[in-house]
Amino acid sequence: MEAAGRRYIIHPSRTDEVTIWNLSDVHYLNKACAVNRLKRDIAVIRDDPYSFWLSVGDMMEWIAPNERRFDPEIVPDWVPVSAYANLGQYCIDQAKLLFKDIWHKCLGWGIGNHELWWEIRESQQGLNRRMCEDLGVAYLGYSSMFDIVFVRIPGHASYPVLAQKVPRKYTREAFRVHTFHGAGAAQTEGAKKIRLVRTMRNVNADLIFMGHLHSKMTHERVVLAANPMATKIIEGNVQQGCVCGSYLKTYTQGDITYAEVRGYDPTALGMVYIKVKPQGRKVTAGT
């Protein structure tokens, strides 16, 4: 797990509301990847000044010809054979290119089971971490904790911007974030929701971002508390959790995918978001 520090978002107004997108489980370099949908969602983040994003992994397919799961029929026609001479670096180069328009809005880059096992199997541990260092993006590993600190500075900019540090004199609200790629092979919606709720109960965080399950879902969890004198029961911290969808289609016409053979449900394509309004600490999630 990574203790990934703090991100500062400077914003000008009390009414500002920021959207944090969970853009994960892309599985780029697989023919079943919904590339047009992906590029449309990237444009949403790029064009909205109030949008930021993070990833919890499985961004590339990371499957080499020497693996049992490899199927040349699901490799896109535009991927050259030479890519498999150094697939790790090719995936990194593709990631840099694919998200080039939104790296400056990235709150952190995590890895999933695809990246993790590739790095271990090929003795390339740290490949994604080094990419993050090159780009100046926080590395989130397989799971992480970090803070997003919203700092209101009237007149600093006309919309929210990321900053490395800010003067202490300004009004600020901090939100603790937990990211986790996810685990398990749950297929029913109930089992997937249980996995999300279990993760939320295990961490002291305000915003929880998960992936892996290829379903789009959100959950709000309220913790009971008492006032400072313990004379009144009140609503305590409110957690918002979300599981992102995916861009890997379960069924692709003319090709046989691994998910089709396993009989998986059709994938919920796209991103999931958590909206944060620092004034009043209002947090909502949606798809």
In the chain, where the domains are located: 2-286
pLDDT digits (tens, 9 = 90+) for 33-90: 999 999 999 999 999 999 999 999 999 988 888 888 888 888 999 999 999 999 999 9
Q: Name the residue among 264, 57, 82, 232 with its Cα closest to residue 140.
A: 57
Amino acid at residue number 263: G
Q: Residue 254's pLDDT is what?
A: 74
Q: Span 2-286: which CATH code?
A: 3.60.21
pLDDT digits (tens, 9 = 90+) for 241-282: 999 999 999 877 777 777 777 777 888 899 999 999 999 999
pTM of the predicted model as reported, rounded to 2 decimal places: 0.93
The answer to whether the beta carbons of residues 54 and 111 sit under 8 Å apart is no
Q: Residue 39's pLDDT is what?
A: 97
Can you tell me the distance from the alpha carbon of 151 to that of 37, in angstroms, rounded to the nearest whole number? 33
Q: Are strands 139-141 and 106-110 parallel, antiparallel or unpaired?
A: parallel
Which residue has 């508390």 as its token pair?
Answer: 225
Q: Are strands 2-11 and 161-163 parallel, antiparallel or unpaired?
A: antiparallel
pLDDT digits (tens, 9 = 90+) for 175-233: 999 999 998 877 888 888 999 999 999 999 999 999 999 999 999 999 888 998 999 99
Mean pLDDT (the chain) is 92
Q: Residue 125's pLDDT is what?
A: 92
